[in-house]
Chain A
Amino acid sequence: AQSVTQLDSQVPVFEEAPVELRCNYSSSVSVYLFWYVQYPNQGLQLLLKYLSGSTLVKGINGFEAEFNKSQTSFHLRKPSVHISDTAEYFCAVSEGNTGFQKLVFGTGTRLLVSP
């Protein structure tokens, strides 16, 4: 069975500082990897995804993530955060090679950006 671990439940950071949100997964098969963001009172929005190919993927709002197969990680990074990045971020995995698999989520990381 697949699982996703987000060890940091909350990450406080100052505006314009860099940030990394950690995600590790376990799976016995190839996977697709995702980061979703949930802004207050909104639904989940896809930030970026890894399906295949280049291990460094770029998403919306200046975020990027790197797939590391040997470490089974997919950490999310942004070199300079804004107040508007305050939200909850979810890492998710689905079984690769098929488009209909359910998403398995981590517990989420709340990013708190202060001035």
Chain B
Amino acid sequence: EAGVTQFPSHSVIEKGQTVTLRCDPISGHDNLYWYRRVMGKEIKFLLHFVKESKQDESGMPNNRFLAERTGGTYSTLKVQPAELEDSGVYFCASSQDRGLWSYNEQFFGPGTRLTVL
């Protein structure tokens, strides 16, 4: 069974440009999460989809970030326009839905390293 995949693995762009990151969760996983790690700091939650709906987007830094999950399958995270402080590693994770009161392990992708110059 394929794991969580992310594309691209690396992206180098200039300040002001637009970048779109993609995440393909494990097949059948309704929950999809985005996290970000800025260099040397903790991995921080960005948002959580349940199928195509945003369950929690409390971690999105500002309105330059737009996440979508059309059809409840893969997800994209667009940064427009990119700023220097957006540099970091963006992780995607997915989990099954065994119910609200059950533990649902999150499986992580390898991440996308974004560098904004």
> Do A100 and B45 touch (CB < 8 A)?
no
Q: Is A56 in contact with chain B by the CB < 8 A criterion? A: no
Q: Mark B29-46, 1 if CB is under 8 A from A, else 0.
A: 001010100001111110
Evaluate contact between B91 and A100: CB separation under 8 angstroms. Answer: no
Question: CB distance B59 to A46 under 8 Å?
Answer: no
Q: How many A-B residue pairs have CB under 8 A?
A: 63
- Is A53 part of the contact surface with B, judged by Cβ < 8 Å? no
Q: Is the CB of A103 within 8 A of B106?
A: yes
Give, as a whole number of angstroms, the nearest-CB distance from B38 to chain A. Answer: 11
* B72 part of interface (Cβ distance < 8 Å): no
CA distance A61 to B98 in the complex (A): 27
Q: Number of contacting residues on B, CB 8 A?
A: 33
Q: Per a CB cutoff under 8 Å, which of B33, B98, B102 touches A102?
A: B33
Shortest CB-to-CB span from A35 to chain B, Å, is 13
Is B101's CB under 8 angstroms from A99's CB? yes
**Beta-carbon contact of A98 and B100 below 8 Å:** yes
- Residues 78 to 115 of chain A near chain B (Cβ within 8 Å): 90, 92, 97-100, 102-108
Binding site for B on A (CB under 8 A): 4, 32, 36, 41-46, 49, 51, 90, 92, 97-100, 102-108
